[in-house]
Amino acid sequence: MIEKREVKLFDTTLRDGSQGAGVSFSVEDKLKIALALDRLGIHYIEGGWPGSNPKDEVFFKQARKLKLKFSKLTAFGSTRRKDKTAEQDPNLKSILRVKTPCACIFGKSWDFQVIHALRASLQDNLKMIYDSVRYLKSKELEVIYDAEHFFDGFRANPEYALATIASAKKAGASNITLCDTNGGSIPSQIAEIVKKVRSSYPKLALGVHTHNDSDCAVANAITAVEEGCSLVQGTINGYGERCGNSNLVSIIANLKLKLGISVLSEEQLQSLTEISRYVSEIANIVPNDHQPYVGFSAFAHKGGVHVSAMARHIQTYEHIDPAIVGNTRRILISELSGQANVLLKAKELKLDFSKNTSLVKQVIDTIKKMEHQGYQFEGAEASFAILVRKALNQHKTFFELIGFKVSDEKQKAEGKVVSKAELKLRVMGVSQQSVAEGDGPVNALDNALRKALEKFYPSLKTMSLTDFKVRVINAQAGTKAKVRVYIESRDEKDEWGCIGVSENIIEASWKALVDSIEYKLLKDGVE
């Protein structure tokens, strides 16, 4: 814990985060994320650089209609050009035009950058910083000054780096944020430099902005806060240029839970996982399962020794209760599983071994044999549930396969391939035949199966297939290799995964499809 003091959160997902490779937000996307960040309790939302592109101009115009409760919308820009006065500078004019209550402008702190990037004199740069901050302050904006390349600049020429922030301070900046723009610093270097800045300017409000090129962005940001910075910048999930920015999700959790700084309320902290995944969805980026605090596997336990200890006390292998950040604990089933894994997982799935504990070893042996064949139950919890139900003699077969035929047809060189599935089933003693087409053989088979079953089991209409993955298990076998098919399905309440393995991709897909449908009917309590 450190002394009780206020630390502000500054999110730049909509600006710096959007500069990451593969990230592109529409205006509508940015508005949705801004509302989510406000709901989370972020103090400053940097919406973009209005002088750089029309999209950000439109965003700020529409964002004025948002009813933000916690957040202060902030426009980004640079100091004035060397050949313009502040009043004439188009970039500063664009910041004023979007009418945000706060502006964040950056300027050069590294003499190398001033000489080679700006091609200005060191004295001219100091004047550019002063004039820009002073001008925006005169228009009654709160001004945060980003000291770009500050840590590199300080190492190269500490006197000049300090002179640049003195210029911003004199002009009236409310906060001066020290930036590790190239992301090459490590925590000990950050600590040393922040200490020296604070000794030179003990009453100056400092912030920190770090990049992840040395994989130290979060650690660097936390270190800077420990040394006295009162504002910390970052992006949701660490999106940003090159290796990304500091991950504000991890920073928030660390500040609140490890340092005891109340950057958010406990209720807001519980939405951290939800908002992390929401932003991933909008960015169309697959969430990092291993992301600390909020990742799908952040509290996943697989090793039998670990799970056995956790059965006695959860703190044996968890540093926090996952519910605090809105995440959940997962007990994984694999060839590494022990009795505790199976018992805890069965309990989680509301399956009871208490009357026949000898079956646990049978289930473990079955899992190990199946994993040797290529199955993997870590994400396929529905297939595991069905396996356990069969061991407990609690499984119900809802239909019986008589046979199926799947074919593909392409009539012209430029024509579309059409897949067709013909299916014969016996459902409730009644023979059923169905034919369906699809975008591929598995989609066609899925369509035919639903077509045959929905009249008997209407609840299947609420179920949809959301993900389909294929992995070759033993690639060295060439075209005779086994494939593992993973299917993820969902309805209005839940998501679940199923798995199938075979040398034939259609058969493997069929096994996973059957498990997925049977699990849906079992969890719905269909008799």
Q: How much is the pLDDT for 352?
A: 66
Mean pLDDT across the stretch 399-414?
88
Would you give the DSSP letter of residue 247?
B
The sheet that has 400-409: what strands, in order across it?
400-409, 418-427, 430-438
Q: What is the share, in percent, of the chain residues with pLDDT greater than 70?
A: 87
156-201: pLDDT as tens digits = 999 999 999 999 999 999 999 999 999 999 999 999 999 999 999 9
Residue 302 CA to residue 53 CA, distance in Å, equals 48
Query: Which residue, among 355, 354, 364, 370, has the nearest Cα to 388 in the 3D structure?
Result: 364
Which position has the higher pLDDT, 465 or 362? 465
Task: Please give the Cα distance from 225 to 93 (Å, whole number).
Answer: 33
Looking at residue 482, its pLDDT comes to 84
Does residue 254 have a pLDDT over 50?
yes
CA 521/CA 517 separation, integer angstroms: 6
* Residue 58, C-beta contacts closer than 8 angstroms, at least 6 positions apart: 27
What is the C-alpha separation between 83 and 120, in angstroms, rounded?
A: 10
pLDDT of residue 308: 66
Which residues face 464 on adjacent strands? 490
pLDDT surpassing 90 at residue 402:
yes
Give the residue-averaged pLDDT of 364-382.
Answer: 70
| 342 pLDDT above the threshold of 80 | no
Residue 474 is predicted with a pLDDT of 63
Question: What average pLDDT does the structure give for the chain?
Answer: 89
Do the Cβ atoms of 311 and 343 come closer than 8 Å? yes
Q: Which of 9-23, 477-491, 496-510 has the lowest mean pLDDT?
A: 477-491
Residues of each domain in the chain carrying CATH 3.30.160.740: 399-456
Mean pLDDT for 328-354 is: 62
pLDDT of 2 higher than 70 = no
Picking from 51-65, 217-231, 319-333, 367-381, which range would have the lowest pLDDT averaged per residue? 367-381
Q: Enter the DSSP assignment of 116.
A: I
Ranges in the chain annotated CATH 3.20.20.70: 8-264
- At 389, list the tokens: 């139900």
d(CA 393, CA 97) in angstroms, rounded, equals 70
Matching CATH number, 399-456, of 3.40.50.300, 1.10.3720.10, 3.40.50.2300, 3.30.160.740: 3.30.160.740
At 59, which helix (H) or strand (E)?
helix 54-63
Burial class (CB in 10 A: 0-12, 13-18, 19+), 400: exposed
Taking 50 as the threshold, does the pLDDT of residue 260 lie above it?
yes
Q: Is the dihedral of CA 252, 258, 259, 262 positive or negative?
A: positive
Query: Residue 476: pLDDT above 70?
Result: no
179 contacts 106 by C-beta, under 8 angstroms: yes
41-84 residue pLDDT tens: 999 999 999 988 899 999 999 999 999 999 999 999 999 999 99
Q: What is the pLDDT of residue 1?
A: 47
Give the residue carrying structure tokens 């750089």. Answer: 52
Rounded CA separation 335/355 (Å): 24
Q: Which two tokens stand for residue 202?
A: 């003990």
Residue 145: what pLDDT?
Answer: 98
Span 8-264 CATH architecture: Alpha-Beta Barrel (3.20)
DSSP tag of 254: I
Q: Which is nearest to 160 in space by CA: 209, 108, 116, 119?
A: 108
What is the chain's alpha carbon radius of gyration, rounded to the nearest angstrom?
29
Q: What number is the average pLDDT over the span 469-489?
A: 76
CA dihedral (425, 431, 436, 438) in degrees, to 10, reads -10
CB 217 within 8 A of CB 183: yes
Length of the chain: 527
| Gap between the Cα atoms of 303 and 298, Å rounded | 14
Is the pLDDT at 475 greater than 70, yes or no?
no
How confident is the model over 384-405, as a mean pLDDT? Answer: 84
- Give residue 29's identity as a one-letter amino acid code: D
Global pTM reads 0.72
